[in-house]
Chains A and B, each alone.
Chain A
Amino acid sequence: MTFFSMTFLLVFLPAGLLLYYGTPNRFKNYTLLGLSLLFYAALGPLELLVMAASVVFDYMMASLIRYHQGNSRVTRTALFLSVLKSVSLILFCMVRSQLEGYSMPVGILVYTLSATGYVVDLYRGEAPYERSLCNFLLYNCFFGKIFVGPYVKYSLIRPQLRKKQLSLSSISTGLVLLIQGIAKKVVLADNLLLTYRKVAQVDASRASATTLSSWLLLLSLVLGIYFTLSAYCDVARGLGQIFCFKLPRNFSYPLHSSSVREFVNHFNTTLVEYLRRYVYRPLGGGRYGVVSDCFNTLLYMLLFGVWFSFSPNLLLFGGVLALFMLGERYLYGRLLRRLPAVFGRVYTYAALLVSFCLPAKGTPAGSWQLLKNLFSFHQERLVNDKIVYILSQSYWVLLLGLVLSFALLPKLSALLKRRAPAAANILSVFFNVGLLVVSVMFII
C-alpha cells in the first residue's frame, strides 16, 4: 500500500482518522503507533520484523547509555553497536539489492538513521532519554515519513509526542498538504518518470540518441526525481499535521537556487542537515583547514549521493556536487555573489546539468556520452522522429513541471492574497478541491 492508492485514501486514512480522533488523548500515541505498524505490515511481514528489530535494538542501546552514564566503556560500546548495526544493516540491504536484485526494505534508511541519530545525540547529551518505547517507536516509525523522511531531530518531536495540540487549522493544513503531495506524485512525478523511461529507451543506443533526446532525458529525470521526493515529503508533512506532528519542510524550490550549495540545502534539506550533523561535524568539519573541509564535504556528499541508491554513478554524483560546492566556497563564490543573480542561476543550471548526467545513466562512460550528446550539434543528430513523438505526447507535463518547479505559484498566490483576499480564498478552495478530484482521476 502506498499513499497514492485508493486503499490508502478511502480505507486506511478515514479509518485511521476515526480511530485516532476517537481515542482519548493519553492513548493517542498508542493508536498512532498501531496504525504505523499496520501500515508496515501491509508492506510485508519481513519489513515489519526488520524495522521492529532494528528500532528496538536502538532503544536498548539508548537505555544502556542512559542507565550507565558514569561508565564510559558501556556507553561507548552501546553507541558503537548502534552505529555498527545501522551501517551494516544498510550496507547489507544495499549490496543485496545490487547483487541479487531484491528491493531494499521500505523505509530502512529513515528508521535506522533516525534511531541511530538519536542514540548519538543521547550519548553526546544533546537529547533527553525517552523512556517510553511507544514514543521511541513512533518517533522513528511514524508511517507518514517512512518512505523518504524527512529526518527529524528528536528534540523537535519530543514536545509534540507528549502534548498533542489538536486543532482544526492543523488538520486543514495537513489535508491540503496531503492532497497537494498526492497530486504532485500522480499527475506530475509519475508522468515525468514515464517520459524519462521512454526517452531513456531512445537514448540508450548511440544510433537513436540525439541532442534533443539527451536534453529531454535530463530534464525529465531532474523534474521527476524532484517531484517524487517532494511529493512524498509533502504527504509526510500533511499526515504529520493531521496526526498532530509538525514535520520540517524538506524541499524548497531547489531549482530556483543561485548556487549549488543553495541547491543542496534546499533539496532533501533534512538529509543534508543529518549528514552534516552526524558525519561532517564529528569529523572536524572545516575546523582543521581547507583540506579537512574538502575531505569532510566530499565524504558527506558521497553519502548524499549513495542515499538514492548504491551505485558508482550516484557516488560520483555526490562527489561532483561536492566539487562544485567547494569551488563556490574557495574559488569563485565571492565572484558569483557580486554578479547579478541571473549569472548564479545560469551557473547553477550548468553545474546541475553536468551532475545529473551521472544518475541519468548506469555507468560513468554512459554519463560521459550523455554529456557529449548534450552539446553535439551535428545537424543529422539533433533530433529524430522518435523523440519528436515523445515530446509531442509529453510536452505538457514537462512544461507544467518546469513552471511548478520555480516559486512562481506561491508568489502569485501571495500577490493575489494581498490584492484580493476574498478572491484568493475562493480560488484556493476550488484549487484544492480540484486537486483532489484530479488526483482521484489519475489514480483510478
Chain B
Amino acid sequence: MVSKRISAVMMLLILITLSVSCVVRGNLLGIAFLPQGEAAPSSIDGLLATTEGYLKKAVPLARTLKAAKINLRYLLGEREQDNVFITGSRLIENVQPPNSKTVQKNMDAILDFTDRLGRPSYAMLIPTASAVLQSEIPKFADIYNQKRFIENVYNNFAGKLSCVDVYSTLFEHSDQYIYYNTESLLTPQGGYLVYDMLTRRMGNAPLSLDRFEIKYLGEYYGELYDRVECKNVDPDVLSIYPYSGGGKEFTVTHYSEKTRRYETLYPEHLLALGRPMDVFLGGLSPVVDIRQKQRAQKSLLVFGDKQMLSVLPFLACGYQQVTLIDLGQITPQQLSEQDFGSYDEVLFAYSTDTFMHSDTPARVGLY
C-alpha cells in the first residue's frame, strides 16, 4: 500500500505539474488563446479537438517524449511509423495507393485545358523517394508501384500531351543524393536530373552541370523529421546551384496577398527566417513569375507543386519567362485574371503523391 501511495502522489504531482505548465504557457484552454486570425471552433467537437491539439504541443518536453516514443518503437523493430519508412539514415514517405476518382478528375481537367489552350503541352509526373530509392525501403515492405501508375497516366495523355519520363533517370541515379533525407522533395541534384531530361524532351539543349556553382548553406531537418523524429536519421545538406556562366540575371515575383520580389533565384536571407525550402525561388505562392533580364526566346507556363522548386532554377535559364502556378493556393479570381494564351509552352509537373491524392491539378478546369 505504501508503494501505491507514493506512486499516486508522484502521479498526481506529474499530472498537476503538466496541467499548471500548460496554463502558464497559455495553452490550457486552447480556444481562449487562439492565435490571432484563427477562427474559434463552432462545435463542441471542434473545441475539444482544438484544446487537445494545443495540449499535445504545450506539454513540457512534448517533442522529447514524442521522439522517445518513436525511437523506442524503432528499437523494437518498427521501421515504418506514421506512414514514414525509417531506413537507417533517412526518412521516406510511404505513398499510399491512388484515389482513382481523383486521378481521373485530374487527367480529364488537364486534357480539357490543353485542348482549349492549343499550345504545345507537356506532362511530367515526378516519382517520390519510396519509388526510386527502393533499395533502402525495409525488406518485405509493401510499396505502391508508381512506375506503373505513371505509365498508365501517360497512356491516357498519349497524343495530346508530350510526356516526360523521369522515373528511369532518377532510378539510375538512386545511389546519389537526389532526395532529401528528411523531406519528401528532390534535392537540387535530383532537380538537375529532372531538368536535364525535361529539357531534352522539350527539344532544347540542357546546360551542363559544370555551368552551375554549388554553394552549401548548412544542415537542416525537414518536415518528415517533424513527424518522425528518429535519432538515427542524418540531417540534410542544403545546397543551391546558382548559374556561374555569367550573363544571366533573374527577377522572381510572387503574386499572393502581397507581392514579393527577389532579384535572385535563391533568396538566401530567407534561411534566417527558419524556412530552408524558401531559399529556392522564395518558396511557393499562387503565382511565381520568373523573368530573365537578358533576352531569351520563349515563355513557359508551369502548373506544379513544391517538387518543382528544385527544378525551376535550372529551367529558368532557358526561358525569357517562366510562370509557376500553384493551383492549390490560387483563387478563382486570380486564375481568371491570368492570360495563359500568351505563353509559348505549357508544362504540368506534379509529384505522383499530389497527382494520386489531391484534386489540385484538376482546378485548372476552373480557368
**Chain A contacts to B: CB under 8 angstroms:** 1, 5-7, 9-11, 13-14, 41-42, 44-45, 168-169, 171-176, 179, 385-386, 388-389, 392-396, 424-426, 428-429, 432-433, 436-437, 440-444
Contact = CB atoms under 8 A, between A and B. Distances in A.
Contacts of A392: 77, 79, 138-140
A169 B16 contact: no
Contacts of A393: 77-80
Interface in B41-66: 44-45, 48, 51-52, 55-56, 59, 62, 65-66
Contact of B3 (A10, A175, A424): A424
Given A393-B80, A426-B3, A444-B59, 13 more contacts: A7-B55, A10-B19, A10-B55, A11-B55, A13-B15, A45-B44, A172-B1, A172-B7, A425-B3, A428-B7, A429-B3, A432-B3, A444-B66
B2 A425 contact: yes
Nearest to B59: A444
Nearest to B73: A396
Contacts of B1: 169, 172
B59 A440 contact: yes
B82 to A, nearest CB: 11
Given A7-B51, A175-B11, A442-B69, A428 B59 contact: no
Shortest 3 CB-CB contacts between residues of A and residues of B: A172-B8, A432-B7, A389-B140
Contacts of A443: 56
B140 A385 contact: yes
Interface residues of B, number: 44
Contacts of A385: 140, 142
Contacts, number: 124
Contacts of A179: 11
A444 B11 contact: no
A10 B18 contact: yes
Given A7-B48, A425-B2, A433 B68 contact: no
Nearest to B47: A42
A441 B69 contact: yes
Contacts of A7: 48, 51-52, 55
A253 B70 CA distance: 30
17 contacts: A1-B48, A6-B56, A10-B18, A10-B22, A13-B15, A14-B19, A42-B48, A44-B44, A168-B8, A176-B11, A386-B142, A392-B79, A392-B140, A393-B78, A428-B3, A433-B14, A441-B69
Contacts of B55: 6-7, 10-11
B4 interface: yes
Interface in B10-36: 10-12, 14-16, 18-19, 22, 28-29
B48 A175 contact: no
Nearest to B66: A444
B139 to A, nearest CB: 8
B6 interface: yes
Nearest to B1: A169
Interface in B77-126: 77-80
Given A392-B140, A393-B77, A9 B15 contact: yes
A9 B15 CA distance: 7
B19 A176 contact: no
B39 interface: no
B8 A171 contact: yes
Name the residue in B52, B59, B72, B77 with the highest tally of chain A Cβ atoms < 10 Å from its Cβ: B52
A433 B69 contact: no
Contacts of A1: 48
B258 interface: no
Nearest to A442: B69
A327 B284 CA distance: 70
Nearest to B55: A6
Contacts of B29: 11
A396 to B, nearest CB: 4
B217 interface: no
Contact of B15 (A14, A41, A442): A14
A200 to B, nearest CB: 14
A441 B7 CA distance: 18
B273 interface: no
Contact of B8 (A5, A44, A175, A444): A175
Interface in B123-164: 138-142
Contacts of A173: 4, 8
Contact of B140 (A388, A425, A444): A388
Interface string B306-345: 0000000000000000000000000000000000000000
